[in-house]
Structures are given as C-alpha cells and as structure tokens.
Homo-oligomer: A and B are copies of this chain.
C-alpha cells in the first residue's frame, strides 16, 4: 500500500500515539502493549495494530512496542524527525497566542519569520523576531527554504495571502481563517475552523438530548 492510500484518520491517530508515547517516555516507561497504548486513548488494541501495520512491523514478540523506538519511527513517518522552518502570517492576537502557546511549535518546527500586512505592526518585536512587511515574504521563504506556513489573517485576505505563500514556495499551510482556501495540487492545507469544532460538540450533545438553554422546537428531535 502506498502512503497516499492510507486513510487520513489513521495518520491522524499516529499523532495521538506519538503524543501518548512521549508522555510515557517522560515517566521512563520503556515498553507498552497495543492494548495499553489503545486503552490510554480510547481505542481498541486491534485499531492500534492496524494503524501501525500500514507503516511497518514495529512490535516485538513478548515485549510489545519499545517506547523509544516507536517514538522515533513515528517521527520519521510524520516527518518530524527533522526541523521544518515555519513562517507565520498575521501578527495579531491569534498569531501571538498561537506562538506563545506551549506545545504549538513542538520539536520539529521552528518559527523563522513573522509577517503582517499592517504597517503599524511591522517592526514590532515578536518573541525573538521582528514583524516583517509582506513585501519581504518571497525572499525570506526562498532564502530560508521555508515550506510550512501558519495563516492567522482575517477572512478577507486569507486567499490572497495563501496565493502569495504558494507562489513563494510554501507547500503546506495551517489555515486559521474560517474559510477554505484553494491551493494547487501538491500543496497541503490543514484548516482549523474553531466554529466547526464547536458545532461538532453541539451535534454530539444533541444526540444525548441534553436540554439546551433555549428549548428547541418540538420537532427538532425528529430531524432526519
């Protein structure tokens, strides 16, 4: 099976396995079974084994997985065994919060430049960096061989900035603007639409018929 054919949710779970293994490692745990790894995340052991089997044979008979070994294999699969340079476009509240948030730029990602279209923000300090004008985007991306960008700009400018990023050579965009941006094939986009996450929660809670603040009309429960 080619990597391209592996289901997205399985790849997504690799990140969760990695997170859990890193937490285990910090407690000096050496080995773990698929059952224990699954249980800690709410998956079955069969699920864990199936997900990992897409990528190779990582377990050891009678031992299970070696924590260190599986961490390094997962990092290699996910591409975080090397350092990716990242640029941020949008030095507003969200951009600042994201970068200040522990755990956002974990091992494997390094913020190398921050851009903003607002001239009043240009030159401001941003951690160890200074905010640069958009006119510097292309040369920075080229010079630092940047492939990943975080897009934290308003809806109105999201597509235009995405186009500039792609033109400059960026091949992966983490998009926080609540619209879908179009990119050419060969460029990856992950959109984090927080309203979508809230809607998904509200859907799950609807299932449980939890009473909302303003009661739904009488026929709401029969929708579908």
Contacts and interface: CB of A to CB of B under 8 A. Distances in A.
A212 B83 contact: yes
A35 interface: no
A84 B212 contact: yes
B192 A194 contact: yes
Interface string A133-148: 0000000000011111
Number of this chain's copies in the assembly equals: 2
A94 interface: yes
A20 to B, nearest CB: 8
Contacts of A180: 16, 19-20, 41-42
Contact of A195 (B42, B106, B172, B201): B106
Interface of A: 3-4, 9, 11-12, 14-16, 18-20, 23, 41-42, 54-56, 73, 76-86, 93-94, 96-98, 100-106, 108-110, 144-148, 154-155, 171-174, 176-180, 186, 188, 190, 192-208, 210-216, 220, 223-224
